[in-house]
Amino acid sequence: MDSNLAGIKSFFEPRSITVVGVSTDQSKLSSIIYHNLLRNRKLGTLKASVYPLNPSHARVGELPCYPDFDSLPEAPELVVVAIPASFAAAAVKDSAKAGAKAAVLITGGFAEAGRKVPEQELLAEARRRGMRLLGPNTIGLLDTYSGVDTLFLRTTKKLSSGKEVVSVLRPLRGGVAVITQSGHLGEIVSEELRANRVGLRALVGTGNQLDVSTEDMISYFANDSRCDVIAVYLEGVKDGRRFIQVASAAVKRKPIIVFKMGKTRAGARAALTHTASIVGDYDVYRAAFRAAGVIEAESLQELLDYCLTFSMLKQRSGSRLLISTNAGGAGAVAADEAELDGLDVRPLRKATANLVRHCLAGVTSSSTLPLGNPMDLTATVGTESFVRATGVALAAPYYDMAVVLPTHQTPAVTPDIARLMGDCLLQSGKPASVCVMGKSELASMIQDEFLERGIPSFPTPERAVRSMAALSEYSILRRNPKPLPIRQFKVHSQPSSAIEGYMSWQATDALMDQYKIQRPKFVILTPDSDDAAAMHLKFPLACKLLSPGLAHKTDVGGVILNVANLDGLNSAVIKLKALASSLKIKFEGVLVQEMVSDGIELLLGATRDEVFGPTVTLGAGGKYAELIRRYAVAIAPLNVGQARQLSTMTMIGKQLGGFRGGPRKTYELARVVSRFSRILCENPQIGQIEINPLIVTARGFSAVDVRVTNETS
Amino acid sequence: MDSNLAGIKSFFEPRSITVVGVSTDQSKLSSIIYHNLLRNRKLGTLKASVYPLNPSHARVGELPCYPDFDSLPEAPELVVVAIPASFAAAAVKDSAKAGAKAAVLITGGFAEAGRKVPEQELLAEARRRGMRLLGPNTIGLLDTYSGVDTLFLRTTKKLSSGKEVVSVLRPLRGGVAVITQSGHLGEIVSEELRANRVGLRALVGTGNQLDVSTEDMISYFANDSRCDVIAVYLEGVKDGRRFIQVASAAVKRKPIIVFKMGKTRAGARAALTHTASIVGDYDVYRAAFRAAGVIEAESLQELLDYCLTFSMLKQRSGSRLLISTNAGGAGAVAADEAELDGLDVRPLRKATANLVRHCLAGVTSSSTLPLGNPMDLTATVGTESFVRATGVALAAPYYDMAVVLPTHQTPAVTPDIARLMGDCLLQSGKPASVCVMGKSELASMIQDEFLERGIPSFPTPERAVRSMAALSEYSILRRNPKPLPIRQFKVHSQPSSAIEGYMSWQATDALMDQYKIQRPKFVILTPDSDDAAAMHLKFPLACKLLSPGLAHKTDVGGVILNVANLDGLNSAVIKLKALASSLKIKFEGVLVQEMVSDGIELLLGATRDEVFGPTVTLGAGGKYAELIRRYAVAIAPLNVGQARQLSTMTMIGKQLGGFRGGPRKTYELARVVSRFSRILCENPQIGQIEINPLIVTARGFSAVDVRVTNETS
């Protein structure tokens, strides 16, 4: 069991719940929460005792109200605080002193409003007393099994006509755990699941994540046998490395779907004022999602669709998709989407097509129907033929799953299509989703009938197909668990040799040697040395001015390229000496390097992300670095396999293997990247490194320019 | 008036409609159509006479049935044919002979099933008699004003319990014209519009587009004053150039939204068997959409969302978006989407923020609320404060439009939020959409109340934001009508000088001269000429073997680069001569070119698309052509402004202007591309051209390698 999970159980299965600040004013949040809990006790779903706390009232309704924690009939276990910020901090501290094991701090106005000091005081007090804290600035939690429910929402509202209408759909019991930094969006997911007949395991709002984090909750639900799908709305994680660790462990047992907010600057600003989340670099988050094997939803709708799909379809599945339809247009849209999603839309084989034709009695020109994939049975197909043909095709061993698009609007299709097609799909044993379009009464009935049978039903072909693509993706993710990234880095003792933030060329050279990253052959010509020292180098040569702290050599004219012979070398050294004196900087000497030409130029970089730590970046280098601006990012360190994956994510790396006339260097590149990726993990004094260009030729890799920046902290 | 529109009016406003093959069997398509038309006559929406045709019946129901066209009480104007393919062709020919002005051929099984011959016979007969033909393989058309309705769908179906339920939602009258190659998807759009309280102008299924095409229909609705939005589901257009012409003319008056199917190979295969559409290259379609100024929907859902938005919001709008919400998470999702869509999410200015604060009486810590954009008023804001604050912020002159995300689930928001917020948004005079989430009864009521007020309402933040992005995009598109592409190309008389498909180097060189595209300085050394002829060229030089029909010189070793001096030149010529004799090909001579180094390498190509004709392609060249594989495509010819747009669509072109140390050549590149784009338009004997690399240096552009392929037809 994860040691970070101590006390978490008290949120979900407390013996008692104390609600602070309950009053007779029923519109106050505390009062709403209190009455929701009482309702759950009456319904029998909540076993825990519920106590209202308020020094100003002796009773609330017919039940006694308590002035303070000491007067409670038993020691508090879970405490709910939803009173204004100015009083809330004291209430949390008091509950910790009174021995509470867990507190939900619903109140906002802390770090997200710029006030970090009271938050840190609360955290210190909770830690000292061994109390866990959810929030602040959260909707709290709802557990459909234990009946704990701190959501401050009323389930009905009164219209101006006086009529009460349902304003919040209550969840069904089920397997989807929703972990969310937005209470509102969490509640919406819960309503959508209900509308699709999918049950909720629990809803947890982590808010500002002062103590309990998204990582904690993923770890908790990974070990919860009632939970079979974990859905996460994420603004920012607290501990990047731990996120990868707990998520990758959980993914082996159940799918994790993440919808990440704060992809853009505008979104990141919004996250900061919403839950005080530092969202960091979205590319790094995506790298972390890949490393952990979580499935990223690209929109809120996708998060909902994937919850529906994963909670209904438990089978593993390959990527070979059958599309069966009686409407050619919808089938074509599905085929487009499937191919864009990387699914395998292989055609029906002849033998299968013949079997299908046998099912098509009564279909216009069934004998000449061009049966492909999509298998378009046309608007003339009747219900029975449609169902039988779909069953026969899906039974073919070369299909792993199906998307069926039954158009109930055609005259030939009867309303029992959902029942008959649904049973057929269930009997096939293969996963399938359906797309039921339209807004009529019959459309709703058919949609609902599929859902009732446990078949995910979507209103557009694209959503039906993408959901199956996610299912197939998860089958791969759980089959190939990623190696865990190393959390503790061995630290080399390396003397800092920095001058004004940059590492000296000598130290840089030693570092490259240590990690076996080849550089072009070079010599250093100092003021005293003889030019003849460069004689064993092969022309043409590059000459670079060395001076303490001079980083941007090119910008000041400190680099002379294409030196063709000894005469040229002499005049280059003289020029660079003169440059140093005109710039009034110290002349340390000239770095003379063999030039590497006619290779592919890469950029290989490493930096420290504030959330996830060391990362590695690979992309096109040299002058194309700025032209192409497409990099692949991964969390460091990488083993050779992971480094190879990274390289196939870049256009330049993808082509390296089969590049016209170029070297077949994919594997060697992976080894270089893997060694390189360890540098930041093992050398805490280094802030970032950029090799640009790293030139690939038939002879190997050559790090022509390397710039190492010291860690500033 | 477009001459292609002769007779089209007879589809929409006929004096009489004859339905072929109506029988007493009410399940037959012809019978369903006939009875739908009778119903419309009873309802008073249809003024046209309706006649059933069938030699086997004297009466259908209580009304007389006619054996043939001659026996009709009046000459037929519109004829509907929905009988099996084997009889349908004869019926269409008969109706043309009888003087019908228009026929709808619903029956399928023609070109989409591989039978092109009967289609061509029908077309010839219709053309000879001056009759227009819609279809075959179509759902036909529905006009909400004239009551013409050939859809073969019953509006109710019987459950097994015997209960009748609505199976097809009838459209409202309104302004959205739906042109579709899929009858099913067209009908779905119609239902969705109805569910969102949006009216339909007409639904037209173009099917196989034998005669009447999508282009015809766009042109027709462009001039129809009842139509204010044109929505198109497209598999393939018939005449690419005419599509661009009619669409770009229409866009000045009303938005056109296109959802294109057949983006992938799987989708293209499906389109071929669905409506016999040759969908061609998707990149070229996108280029055509840009040229025409139509808005492309990326999914079926987007098509629906944009119809809703454009039919409700008629204002032009800039791109400065206010996001107002009482739920931080939803606001943050909206902000992310807005920035991804290129909208301007600028923050509230201080003065506006202060005005907003004045509206927030009762909101927790309203004085310290970090009011940004999204303007998150938090879950504590009440209805009135929320509405007033939104109105005040939207009144700021630096916002053009708004997306409002009201969470009705919070205790402080009352059910009248839709009425109050809706009125506030309407009064602002600025366009706005809302996102109402949730599945409760109250959620539905609020969603519907916004729609009733004419405010587009969406169930996710992303869809609400994207729709506003489309609105802003259309404001630009209709403000900047694109120059029309030239339809008739001036044809140069150029002697074909092809050898085995490729143009000779002499002709190629003349062609480049003619279009003022610079090549590196060169001389030709023939077996008789003196090497000294190359003396006026600057070393280093490139030597290329010339031999009739030798296209891939590099592959056979026929190119020697970096020749540094006269000695090198001599030995290169000897080598190439020897190569020719060892390859047993004729030695014509050696092309000796100055080498161009240290520039940016581009690829500039032109080819003929089978739907849209000449196109131009621009991207990275040289060895990076294969590495980067990102090209921008445009329909040729391009004026300088259009060529400039093309270049900014490529990464390499975008960077050309500000490339580090490189030339600022954007404008000059545009002039080269514009001249180049005319070549295929003016030289029908040329099939394609590729300049790779076209090298850009500080001195200008240099077409180093040019390959011209002859048109094969």
Q: Which residue of B has its CA nearest to A376?
A: B274
Structure confidence at residue B484 (pLDDT): 47
- Comparing A219-223, A492-496, B600-604, which segment has the lowest mean pLDDT? A492-496
Question: Confidence band (pLDDT; 50, 70, 90) for B700?
Answer: confident
Question: Confidence band (pLDDT; 50, 70, 90) for B490?
Answer: very low
B437 with A369: Cβ contact below 8 A: no
Top residue of B137, B163, B167, B419 to mutate, by most chain A CBs within 10 Å, is: B167
pTM for the whole thing?
A: 0.91
A184 with B274: Cβ contact below 8 A: no
**Of the candidates B598, B517, B495, B504, which has an alpha carbon nearest to the alpha carbon of residue B547?**
B504
Taking the CA of residue A600 and the nearest CA in chain B, the distance in Å comes to 9
Q: What is the Cα B673 distance to its own chain's centre?
A: 23
Q: Quick one: average pLDDT of B552-560?
A: 79
Q: Cα separation of B292 and B252, whole Å? A: 10
Q: Is 50 exceeded by the pLDDT of residue A131?
A: yes
Most confident of A556-565, A632-641, B76-85, B563-572: B76-85
Q: Which residue of B has its CA nearest to A343?
A: B266
What DSSP assignment string belongs to B593-610? EE---SSEEEEEEEEEET
- Comparing A437-441, B236-240, B279-283, which segment has the lowest mean pLDDT? B279-283
Q: Is 80 exceeded by the pLDDT of residue A653?
A: no
Tens of pLDDT, residue by residue over B417-474, are: 999 999 999 999 999 999 999 999 999 999 999 999 999 999 999 999 999 999 999 9
Q: Is 50 exceeded by the pLDDT of residue A662?
A: no
Structure confidence at residue A383 (pLDDT): 96
Q: Return mean pLDDT, chain B.
A: 89
* Token pair of A15 as six digits: 């013996």
Structure confidence at residue A533 (pLDDT): 67
Which amino acid makes up residue A188?
A: I
B102 within 8 A of B11, measured Cβ to Cβ:
yes
- B-contacting residues of A 203-232, CB under 8 Å? none
Structure confidence at residue B406 (pLDDT): 97
- Cβ-Cβ contacts under 8 Å, A441 against chain B: 165-167
- Through-space distance between the first and last CA atoms of chain A, rounded to whole angstroms: 34
Distances (CA, A) of A343 to A298, A322, A340, A651, B645: 18, 10, 8, 21, 34
Closest partner residue to A440 among B167, B462, B600, by Cβ?
A: B167
Angle at B280 between CA B278 and CA B284, to 5 degrees: 145
- B-contacting residues of A 516-545, CB under 8 Å? none
Q: Is 80 exceeded by the pLDDT of residue B45?
A: yes
Structure confidence at residue B502 (pLDDT): 81
A620 with B627: Cβ contact below 8 A: yes
- A-contacting residues of B 372-431, CB under 8 Å? 372-374, 376, 378-379, 407-411, 414-416
Closest partner residue to A336 among B84, B165, B261, by Cβ?
A: B261
Q: Is A672 on the interface with B (CB under 8 A)?
A: no
Q: Is 70 exceeded by the pLDDT of residue B487?
A: no
- Per DSSP bridges, beta strands B589-594 and B541-546 are antiparallel
Top residue of A106, A442, A654 to mutate, by most chain B CBs within 10 Å, is: A442
Structure confidence at residue B30 (pLDDT): 95
Tens of pLDDT, residue by residue over B341-398, are: 999 999 999 999 999 999 997 676 777 788 999 999 999 899 999 999 999 999 999 9
Structure confidence at residue B492 (pLDDT): 40
Q: Which residue of B has its CA nearest to A154?
A: B411
Q: Is A565 on the interface with B (CB under 8 A)?
A: no
* Token pair of B137 as six digits: 């393989």
Closest partner residue to B267 among A181, A336, A416, by Cβ?
A: A336
Structure confidence at residue A497 (pLDDT): 43
Q: Cα separation of B376 and A324, whole Å? A: 46
Question: Confidence band (pLDDT; 50, 70, 90) for B481?
Answer: low
Taking the CA of residue B126 and the nearest CA in chain A, the distance in Å comes to 25
Structure confidence at residue B388 (pLDDT): 97
Largest CA distance in chain B: 103
A183 with B108: Cβ contact below 8 A: no
What DSSP assignment string belongs to B188-242? HHHHHHHHTT--EEEEEE-TT-SSS-HHHHHHHHHT-TT--EEEEEES--S-HHH
- Secondary structure class of A207 (helix, strand, coil): coil
Q: Is A601 on the interface with B (CB under 8 A)?
A: no
What DSSP assignment string belongs to B22-88? --S-TTSHHHHHHHHHHHHHHHTS--SEEEEE-TT-SEETTEE-BSSGGGSSS--SEEEE-S-HHHH
Question: Confidence band (pLDDT; 50, 70, 90) for A489?
Answer: very low
* Token pair of A547 as six digits: 């001076």
- B-contacting residues of A 607-626, CB under 8 Å? 620, 623-624, 626
A372 with B273: Cβ contact below 8 A: yes
Give the residue with greater pLDDT, B661 vs A673.
Answer: A673
B618 within 8 A of B600, measured Cβ to Cβ:
no
- Cβ-Cβ contacts under 8 Å, A184 against chain B: 327-330, 379, 407, 409-410, 437
Q: Is 80 exceeded by the pLDDT of residue A25?
A: yes
B441 with A407: Cβ contact below 8 A: no
- Comparing A219-223, A227-231, A583-587, A678-682, which segment has the lowest mean pLDDT? A583-587
Structure confidence at residue A145 (pLDDT): 98
B270 with A374: Cβ contact below 8 A: yes
- Comparing A53-57, A270-274, A604-608, B556-560, which segment has the lowest mean pLDDT? A270-274
Percent of chain A at pLDDT > 90 equals 65
Structure confidence at residue B428 (pLDDT): 97
Q: Cα separation of A274 and A271, whole Å? A: 5
Give the residue with greater pLDDT, A570 vs B165.
Answer: B165
Structure confidence at residue A500 (pLDDT): 53
Tens of pLDDT, residue by residue over B138-148, are: 999 999 999 99
- Cβ-Cβ contacts under 8 Å, A153 against chain B: 409-411
- Comparing A85-89, A280-284, A366-370, which segment has the lowest mean pLDDT? A366-370
Q: Is 70 exceeded by the pLDDT of residue B588?
A: yes
Distances (CA, A) of B618 to A368, A600, B271, B671, B712: 44, 22, 29, 13, 23
Structure confidence at residue A483 (pLDDT): 52
Q: Which residue of A has its CA nearest to B279?
A: A332
Which amino acid makes up residue B290?
A: R
CB atoms within 10 A of CB A192: 22
Q: Is 80 exceeded by the pLDDT of residue B540?
A: yes
Q: From edge to edge, which strands make up the β-sheet containing A78-81?
A: A49-53, A16-20, A78-81, A102-105, A132-134
- Cβ-Cβ contacts under 8 Å, A264 against chain B: 335-336, 339-340
Q: Is 70 exceeded by the pLDDT of residue A603?
A: yes
- Secondary structure class of A497 (helix, strand, coil): coil
Q: Which residue of B has its CA nearest to A413?
A: B157
Q: Is 80 exceeded by the pLDDT of residue A4?
A: no
